[in-house]
Amino acid sequence: QQFSRFCKLQADDKVLEAACGTGHMVNYCASSVASVDGVDIAERMIALAQAEADQRQLGNVRFSVGPVESLPFPDGGHSVVMSRAAFHHFADPRQVIDEMLRCCCTGGRLCIQDIIGYGDPELDAYVEELEVAIDSSHARTLLRDEFTGLFTEVGLVGIHGVEFQTRLDLINYVGHAVQSDEMQAEVEKLIEKGLGDAKLSSIFEQHDGRLALIRNVLFIGGRKADTDSPAELARRPRIVRLKLDQP
């Protein structure tokens, strides 16, 4: 898992994943850290996560049902607090980051993976419309600078990240959520609109005989400050940008 490597997990880490979904990341990390907690608001997701953990006999994982805006953990109890592919569902990203940071110990790391906008108003407006038609729980895709701004605002230091592009198989991507007949028709209408427009079609690509949507993804991490050094607090975020298919 690229994201787990980005988080630089250590054997003594106590990890918390906010909005863990079906627990894939929690259960994946379990063998390499001291403990992992996963929280998600969907009971069905947590039931699947727990079933996998039980099947694999993972004794160092715990799952909880609840909102990420109010995590059921004491202050500073985890050395790594992460969230993966979830922030575009949050109505108030700053509130979630504040709560994740509360659960992180001094000197601990906060890491997020999520899709980000293209930085082009026309492309972003179109894809937001498409995302909402595919999944009604979609709130808003943040831009890279919004993520770095949030990390800076809450006082994280050593902010760093990797931005890259990924191809999402469109049939599978649409199928990850359930749409009404009306919304299925809207998704088809929007895809047709995108493919017929010179600018919008730039984010679609035929790959291995299937239509794919190209999305930008960001891994971003920072450390909960254990120093008041002005030099460290003023250090600018370092984001490495990779091209599509660049390792």
Q: Give the tokens for residue 77.
A: 């109890």
Q: Which residue has the higher pLDDT, 240 or 152?
A: 152
Q: Give the tokens for residue 70.
A: 């109010």
**By mean pLDDT, which of 11-25, 138-152, 194-208, 218-232 is the weakest?**
218-232
How many other β-carbons are positioned within 10 Å of the β-carbon of residue 138? Answer: 16
For 86-115, what is each residue's pLDDT tens digit? 999 999 999 999 999 999 999 999 999 999
Predicted pLDDT at 15: 98
Sequence letter at residue 112: I
pLDDT band at 10 (very low <50, low <70, confident <90, very high): very high
Predicted pLDDT at 226: 76
Beta bridge partners of 93: none
Q: Which residue has the higher pLDDT, 231 or 97?
A: 97
Q: What is the mean pLDDT of the chain?
A: 94
Torsional sign, CA 47, 25, 30, 63? negative
Q: Can you tell me the distance from the alpha carbon of 132 to that of 245, in angstroms, rounded to the nearest whole number?
A: 27
Within the chain, strands assigned E span 14-18, 35-40, 61-65, 78-84, 104-116, 156-169, 204-207, 210-224, 238-241
% of the chain beyond a pLDDT of 90: 88
Q: Can you tell me the distance from the alpha carbon of 146 to that of 154, in angstroms, rounded to the nearest whole number?
A: 12
Q: Can you tell me the distance from the alpha carbon of 31 to that of 126, in angstroms, rounded to the nearest whole number?
A: 41
Predicted pLDDT at 237: 80
Q: Can you tell me the distance from the alpha carbon of 81 to that of 49, in angstroms, rounded to the nearest whole number?
A: 18
pLDDT band at 197 (very low <50, low <70, confident <90, very high): very high
Beta bridge partners of 114: 218
Q: Give the tokens for residue 65.
A: 């049902």
Token pair 């595919």 is found at: 134
Predicted pLDDT at 228: 62
Strands 61-65, 210-224: pairing kind: unpaired
Q: Can you tell me the distance from the alpha carbon of 81 to that of 103, in angstroms, rounded to the nearest whole number?
A: 7
Predicted pLDDT at 238: 83
Q: Angle at CA 163, nearest 5°, toward 240 and 22?
A: 135
Chain-centroid distance, C-alpha 137: 14
pLDDT of 7 strictly over 90: yes
pLDDT band at 58 (very low <50, low <70, confident <90, very high): very high
Q: Please name the residues in contact with 115: beta carbons below 8 A apart, sequence gap of 6 or more.
A: 85, 88, 141, 215, 216, 217, 218
